[in-house]
Structure 1
């Protein structure tokens, strides 16, 4: 099922959109469970508001006094199907699981997109798209240096970062990181690993951002589009995709590819003018 719910956080007058719908949860004994709801908390989707906040701090910005929202910003995530007229896009991408008829014809202020697949998709719909590519999560090491491991940090030989829908299949492995864990914890463990095996897109993005070899494992429900969009948008080759962990382990050179994102250009494209 495709979700149609997105949260918004508001640093000053700008709503920073990100995917974090509430899902059913239950509490109590079997037969007397009380239905509750709780946000999904998928770590990659929660990075957007913090990246935006850090970008503003880096450039000397401070949160403006609360007032009615003047703009909506789409940054991290495959969330362009939530876009409305006048929204600003900085690093978002299209979602291959969303039917094309769910993308409305809207006028967007595009500053950067995740990659060329998204650029072509928007250009076909009449949007003016600059040649500025990159997932903003690539900026995490620059914006959050405290999450980088120190020289004496203990390192795992590898960790597994499943897509949200793949977690149950690998949850028993002690090397598996639950993508719903606090995002600082997830990023820290990825940064400390010597290799990352991931069906989570942002497991791959964060690994490569910190220089950790990233091996793509096929996701059960996700389409190739967003992975290819990211890989091409980060100035490199496509990431080979392996059907499962044993197959990936049999290829010791997997996870090493050309990788040259233009982070300066991505940072220059940040829409400071919204504030």
Structure 2
């Protein structure tokens, strides 16, 4: 998928009508941010182009509320940008509701902070399994995904590598590459939120891995997402416990995740909430 931010024609009215002008974070490679363009293309039925946050038509996957507020001092003249399934890293200024046209939020914590009611909730990353990508068969490996800012203790890393049961999945790659690696796993440990979301999308059991220094309030976005699909989150697992914890995992795939209905309900709500003005007739 080409990024066209440098193209002076990318902001013309004709281009905006034929393509969705989407902002996603791309200063550092991160599959969770990259996923946004693929999902929006799927749901809208239109090609997507990267657009800077000042001029974007749409904000979707990612904790982008803070970024929007930093780039919009006041409401934009004319049509406000649309927000679909976006989240936040923690409490933000409620004036966000004046700056964007909110169609869906990541979860109920975001909705409560902004004081909005009766909005569809969920992360659009749940559509990862619906993308037109190769579907590799499960090979029985256990995936480990660390947030792009996180490392792992060398001693723990050596133990996991020696066991031969784990697949270390680098989150600093494109969404299709990471999705393919996740889809082959029978279980996933992840401190990346979208590592868990993509696993949920494929019905792969997964465990929240601790990432204490990845954000100022690292738990917020996980609880926000979990509540949107009725998934109970307790305390995240520390990386040193992966080896012991994984020894008790079932060797056979389960029929479905216990919160599978919450996932399906969230996807249906998100699909219905996608801005009709950005839809291609007859799209997904």
TM-score by length of 2: 0.71
Query: Which segment drifts farther, 105-114 or 183-192?
Result: 105-114
- 1:19 lines up with 2:14 in the alignment: no
- 2: CA distance between counterparts of 1:233 and 1:16? 23
- 1: CA distance between counterparts of 2:114 and 2:134? 34
- 2: CA distance between counterparts of 1:105 and 1:169? 42
Identify the residue that residue 87 of structure 2 maps to in structure 1. Answer: 93
SS of the residue 1:165 aligns to: coil
- 2: CA distance between counterparts of 1:56 and 1:180? 26
- 2: CA distance between counterparts of 1:179 and 1:45? 10
Displacement of 1:199: 0.3
Whose RCO is larger (CA < 8 A, sep 6+)?
2
Identify the residue that residue 270 of structure 1 maps to in structure 2. Answer: 274
* Contact 2:22–2:48 (8 Å) recurs in 1: no
SS of the residue 1:166 aligns to: coil
SS of the residue 2:102 aligns to: strand
Change (3 A) 1:102 1:207: same
Q: Number of aligned residue pairs: give it.
A: 235
Structure 2 gaps, min length 5:
280-284
Displacement of 1:146: 2.8
Cα-to-partner distance string for 1:99-148 (whole Å, 9 max, x where unaligned)? 7479867432111110001111111xxxx453311100101112x14343
Cα-to-partner distance string for 1:39-70 (whole Å, 9 max, x where unaligned)? x110001111111111122xxx5679xxxx97
* Contact 2:88–2:110 (8 Å) recurs in 1: yes
SS of the residue 2:172 aligns to: coil
- 2: CA distance between counterparts of 1:258 and 1:63? 31
